[in-house]
Chains A and B, each alone.
Chain A
């Protein structure tokens, strides 16, 4: 198994008048093509951990490397570049840019990266959205879409630059059960069929149980790592 993320004693303390510990001494290794659940009570530091793994926040202690690169040595621009090409975020709230259509929102990370021609970007955005069942909504703006549709656009945007790592913070938290199941299935397909690594915060223990691994947090600390035995599925390929 190729290692994607390696963290040792990862700690994040907010230096307020009374210091707040968000994440404490978390050591973990996440390999490629893993579907990882992050669970824990509200306020246990799940989001904080995701922000650290996604290079949105900097740890105050410990080390974090992504694909073997020590993130402590990256400057802000390198961290931004890493986010752009290697990490896709999906938040509980869709966070689409309100002035742009679904397709344009998906195109934005591609245009920022600038690897494809405008035609290719347009086609890829259309394909990604169509694969998520949004073929008829390409030119609608976020306020013309339902909650489930917006969240799927957000997933498409996270996939825009084909990053190996998707971080999802309660992606189904604001959706009804039918839409939740649909978004969950999409994430599952990403891991099983496209070889992505998905780390998803969820409150739904049933969903967590269907994932490869579960990281349970309490008060910022990792309590147990309830590893599930490797589920073999058709999308999984042996490590080289």
Chain B
């Protein structure tokens, strides 16, 4: 085997310039694949991280997966009932204290219960539709994504009691209200209550900044005429990946709909898979092109060395030896190209990681390119490069190895 390697190396060093071109082809392919993978993966990780950070990992709401069976349907089992006037259910999670203490017993993470009610916020003639969210100021900061985004005040300002509210800065701007002003919240039940603004936040997510008002849970319950009710439990898990299992257990136990963040973003996560498929298709295409360079040089060498192949076969080398020889030459070029490409890819990714810029138009600020550093990208690029080189070397190698040495020896004399 050492012998075959020695012969392979003399062949490729004998064609220095062409070898370098083929090698650079592989290097550029590997380098760009790594850079592309780092950017794509970085973007994806960043995106998923934002999802995981801003969303509850599991959200329990007072809904059921399937419409509740009406009592009449239970009574008259065999008949199909139409035009039934459904019984008006009291909304909300029934027996919240028991549910919460049950969760407290086993959830590997933190949670907070809220009462979310739709309503309208009024101030000096301006009106903005909003979700009025009744929270527990002690529990909420442990699950809320807003906690880092306060421009003024905080949830703690609610804890003191009284009619206070924390709203988004965009809502405040639309209402023309400032910190300390008193706004009016009107619920869909028609009840209204006045709150003093004690906190302003800016998350960058427009729906939040414009449409959420946080008040004490008790106040929200009074406003929506549902004493002691809660209708949402937000859970942050220590391990976000456990969300699906946790959600399933809650749903079986409590009977309420519990949605894991993966389920809530299923279509987005599917789109990411599609994105990855596209990315690896492009990587494969780049490597195919690099493979052509290798095919080219190995073809040239096998033609040029036809006589040497005949001699070696006459000396007692087998066809398999000859195939291995040229596949090895292709793989050797690809290996050198891969190493160079790793350095090139690393340099490119590093350079990209230094780039800084601002986007504020989208509402999400990004100050640098999201980049993922992963050995996997290097391995995958190398696997593609070596794989395509092996194929690119094998095709001419097989043809050359098959050639009858007699034809060549006769022709050369």
A residues contacting B by CB (< 8 A) are: 47, 51, 54, 56-57, 76-77, 80-85, 89, 91-93, 95-100, 108-109, 111-113, 157, 169-170
Write out the residue numbers on chain B whose beta carbons fall within 8 Å of the beta carbon of A111.
2-3
State whether A99 and B316 are in contact (beta carbons under 8 Å apart), knowing that A56-B409, A93-B412 are contacts in the complex: no
Closest-by-CB residue of A relative to B311 is A95
| Contact for A83 among B2, B11, B307, B316, CB less than 8 A | B316
- Does A80 lie within 8 Å of B317, measured CB to CB? yes
State whether A76 and B406 are in contact (beta carbons under 8 Å apart), knowing that A93-B413, A111-B2, A111-B3 are contacts in the complex: no
- Does B412 lie within 8 Å of A84, measured CB to CB? no
CB interface residues, B 301-317, toward A, < 8 Å: 307-308, 311-317
Write out the residue numbers on chain B whose beta carbons fall within 8 Å of the beta carbon of A100.
10
B residues contacting A by CB (< 8 A) are: 2-3, 7, 10-11, 14, 307-308, 311-321, 404-406, 409-410, 412-413
| Contact for A84 among B2, B316, B320, CB less than 8 A | B316
- Does B319 lie within 8 Å of A84, measured CB to CB? no
Write out the residue numbers on chain A whose beta carbons fall within 8 Å of the beta carbon of B409.
51, 56, 91, 95
State whether A89 and B314 are in contact (beta carbons under 8 Å apart), knowing that A57-B406, A99-B14 are contacts in the complex: yes
- Does A56 lie within 8 Å of B405, measured CB to CB? yes
| Contact for A51 among B3, B11, B406, CB less than 8 A | B406
Beyond A77-B318, A80-B316, A111-B2, 14 additional contacts (C-beta under 8 Å) are: A47-B413, A54-B314, A57-B404, A76-B318, A77-B320, A80-B318, A82-B316, A84-B316, A97-B7, A97-B311, A99-B14, A100-B10, A111-B3, A112-B316
Closest-by-CB residue of B relative to A163 is B316
Closest-by-CB residue of A relative to B405 is A56
Write out the residue numbers on chain A whose beta carbons fall within 8 Å of the beta carbon of B2.
111
Write out the residue numbers on chain B whose beta carbons fall within 8 Å of the beta carbon of A81.
316
- Does B308 lie within 8 Å of A97, measured CB to CB? yes
- Does B406 lie within 8 Å of A108, measured CB to CB? no
- Does B314 lie within 8 Å of A83, measured CB to CB? yes
26 A-B residue pairings within 8 Å (CB atoms): A47-B410, A51-B409, A54-B314, A56-B405, A77-B320, A80-B313, A80-B316, A80-B317, A80-B318, A81-B316, A83-B314, A83-B315, A84-B316, A84-B317, A89-B314, A95-B412, A97-B7, A97-B311, A97-B312, A98-B308, A108-B312, A111-B2, A112-B316, A112-B317, A113-B316, A157-B315
A57 to B3, CA, bound (A): 25
- Does B307 lie within 8 Å of A95, measured CB to CB? yes
Main secondary structure, interface of B, reads helix
Closest-by-CB residue of B relative to A95 is B311
A223 to B10, CA, bound (A): 47
Write out the residue numbers on chain B whose beta carbons fall within 8 Å of the beta carbon of A89.
314-315
Write out the residue numbers on chain A whose beta carbons fall within 8 Å of the beta carbon of B313.
56, 80
Closest 6 CB pairs of A and B: A84-B316, A99-B10, A83-B316, A111-B3, A80-B318, A95-B311
Write out the residue numbers on chain A whose beta carbons fall within 8 Å of the beta carbon of B308.
97-98
Write out the residue numbers on chain A whose beta carbons fall within 8 Å of the beta carbon of B319.
76
- Does A91 lie within 8 Å of B413, measured CB to CB? yes
A76 to B402, CA, bound (A): 11
Write out the residue numbers on chain B whose beta carbons fall within 8 Å of the beta carbon of A83.
314-316
A97 to B6, CA, bound (A): 12
State whether A109 and B14 are in contact (beta carbons under 8 Å apart), knowing that A56-B409, A92-B413, A93-B413 are contacts in the complex: no
Among B313, B316, B405, the one with the most A-chain Cβ atoms within 10 Å of its Cβ is B316
Write out the residue numbers on chain B whose beta carbons fall within 8 Å of the beta carbon of A113.
316
Name the distance in Å between A215's Cβ and chain B's nearest Cβ. 19
Name the distance in Å between B9's Cβ and chain A's nearest Cβ. 9
- Does B314 lie within 8 Å of A85, measured CB to CB? no
Name the distance in Å between B50's Cβ and chain A's nearest Cβ. 59
Closest-by-CB residue of A relative to B409 is A91
A47 to B409, CA, bound (A): 10
State whether A84 and B405 are in contact (beta carbons under 8 Å apart), knowing that A47-B410, A95-B307 are contacts in the complex: no
Write out the residue numbers on chain A whose beta carbons fall within 8 Å of the beta carbon of B320.
77
- Does A108 lie within 8 Å of B3, measured CB to CB? yes
A92 to B409, CA, bound (A): 10
State whether A112 and B315 are in contact (beta carbons under 8 Å apart), knowing that A56-B406, A57-B406, A100-B10 are contacts in the complex: yes
- Does B315 lie within 8 Å of A84, measured CB to CB? yes
